[in-house]
Structure 1
Amino acid sequence: MTEPLIELKGVSKSFGSHKVLDNVDLTIYRGEALGIIGPSGTGKSTILRVMAGLLAPDEGEIYVQGVRRDGLIEDAGQPVGIGMVFQQAALFDSLTVEENVGFLLYQNSKLPRSRIRDLVKEKLEMVGLPSISDLYPAELSGGMRKRVSFARAIMSNPDNPSEGPEVLLYDEPTAGLDPIASTVIEDLIRYLQCLNGVCSTYAVVTHQDSTIRRTADRLIFLYEGRVQWQGTVSEIYNTENPLIKQFMSGSVQGPIQVVG
């Protein structure tokens, strides 16, 4: 493996009496595509938010390119930019696509509006959505909203390129999409990884078999707040691990408890 970009060591997180993450160790390496899979409610989205610095762990340590992070992302700068793509796109309904994609630059930079518009246009072209800047989220399909959220996640300030995202964290990027729209999103994830000057490293949370096969190289399986298995995509289809076999087959019979 190459250089570790994000490391979680002994990370635990609880919400009330419910322990969502339990002593998790996890590493994302530079240039890799990591898939995080497992049943619903086992801490997959929580682990992304901890990595992104949106949630602080109750226990454990987080290192970003070897530098320990204390607190949340806004508490101190970090050596690697981290972008987050949320499951429901999380766009502002009252803002246009241009205002959504350029939101951080409009709020936090001194760039003129004309320059921000050009940057927004560039990012929208990268995700295959030219000429929609003036539309509102309600006017877009689910797949288009996902792609707009990708454009927002890869936006960076050319005056401070070191602040741009080097790692992207995708939370269920194909959830709720039909198979064709899912393929578009999966191709886009790989395209952005290969694009010079954009994010070469990412982690993706998913339940969808096609997304596992088409976007991940290495996988970790979370269950009951712990990493229960890890390996390559090819290994997951051949392992005798009973948790993996039940999960991948969708069987209600096995060690994974079926709620309800």
Structure 2
Amino acid sequence: MSQSPPARKPIIEFRGVSKSFGTQRILDGLDLKVHYGEALVIVGPSGTGKSTILRLMCGLLEPDSGEVLLGGLPLQAEQLQRKPIQVGMVFQQAALFDSLTVEENVGFLLYEHSKLPRTKIGELVREKLEMVGLDPVLARQMPAELSGGQRKRVSFARAIMEDPTVPDDETQLLLYDEPTAGLDPIASTVIENLIRSLKQRGSCDSYVVITHQETTIRSTADRILLIYQGKVRWEGQAPEIDACQDPYVRQFFDGKIDGPIQ
């Protein structure tokens, strides 16, 4: 009888991670895993460390204690050894370079770190713009000429840009920090659908979303973590929310003042 293959390590894992800023402890011995192929949404009240989690995941911050493992290896060692896991991040305010065109923003990684000719990079940029539902003619425009929803999608195109000269067996993890913040309901739906479609089309293997918007939570999550005071207080799936009687869940999703969240 043939044996089933061994389970793959989580794409990213926190083991007892703590992080403080000054005297304020943001994360307190946090444990979490993001599995291959998973869509994870992290929620919780403001100031509970959700964005800090993303910055730890992509190496912009280091934990005060505990470990962040990427592909089973400590994150810094993972970066140094150039293992095949690529982490892209979509920031809350898109974080585009105002002095660069859309093409230069989307192709920034390749312009800075590859030997590809500009014509080839331009082709790749137009391809990515089409993937996120934008007209390639926007490549010549400046960020200030775009709407809020267009800027968001440009930041998505930048996050999924890959160097075609690098072997294409890299695992891609995308991190989204409040991707629908400040958008109207229709624009939010467009972005939510885009998040799902990029994964379905293979532009990423797994993703993590930080959000407060309930529509984004329900439409993009395979699994949800509710964080408060630096710890996971509840874990579940979107269909469980309405019937769940956990006090943290009820207070957060019902918007109640009274409850364990102060």
Under a length normalisation based on structure 1, what TM-score does the superposition of the two structures give? 0.94
Tell me, yes or no, if structure 1 residue 113 matches structure 2 residue 126. Answer: no
Q: How far has the Cα of 1:77 moved from its partner?
A: 2.8
Q: Match for 1:65: what amino acid? A: G
2-side partners of 1:166 and 1:125: how far apart? 19
Q: Match for 2:189: what amino acid? A: T
Structure 1, residues 215-245: CA drift from partner, whole Å, max 9, x if none? 0010000001111111111122221111110
Tell me, yes or no, if structure 1 residue 18 matches structure 2 residue 24. Answer: yes
Q: Match for 2:254: what amino acid? A: S
Match of 1:134 in 2: 140
Calculate percent identity across the aligned residue pairs.
60
Q: Return closer, same or farther for 1:164/1:104 CA change in 2, 3 Å cut-off.
A: farther
Match 1:212 to one of 196, 204, 217: 217
Q: Return closer, same or farther for 1:168/1:129 CA change in 2, 3 Å cut-off.
A: same
Whether the aligned pair in 1 keeps the contact of 2:42 and 2:210 (CA below 8 Å) is: yes
Q: How far has the Cα of 1:3 moved from its partner?
A: 4.3
Tell me, yes or no, if structure 1 residue 28 matches structure 2 residue 31. Answer: no
Q: Match for 1:238: what amino acid? A: A
2-side partners of 1:62 and 1:255: how far apart? 28
Q: Return closer, same or farther for 1:32/1:74 CA change in 2, 3 Å cut-off.
A: closer
Q: Match for 1:236: what amino acid? A: I
Question: How does 1:139-150 map onto structure 2 within 5 Å?
Answer: 139-150=145-156
Superposition RMSD on alpha carbons, in Å? 1.6
Unmatched tracts of structure 1, length 5 or more: none
Question: How does 1:237-256 map onto structure 2 within 5 Å?
Answer: 237-256=242-261
1-side partners of 2:44 and 2:94: how far apart? 21
Match of 1:182 in 2: 188
Q: Match for 2:195: what amino acid? A: I
1-side partners of 2:151 and 2:81: how far apart? 31
2-side partners of 1:12 and 1:204: how far apart? 20
Under a length normalisation based on structure 2, what TM-score does the superposition of the two structures give? 0.93
2-side partners of 1:69 and 1:96: how far apart? 32
Q: Which moved more, 1:73-82 or 1:123-132?
A: 73-82
1-side partners of 2:18 and 2:101: how far apart? 38
Q: Which moved more, 1:89-98 or 1:158-167?
A: 158-167
Match of 1:124 in 2: 129
Whether the aligned pair in 2 keeps the contact of 1:64 and 1:79 (CA below 8 Å) is: no
2-side partners of 1:154 and 1:163: how far apart? 14
Question: How does 1:43-54 map onto structure 2 within 5 Å?
Answer: 43-54=49-60
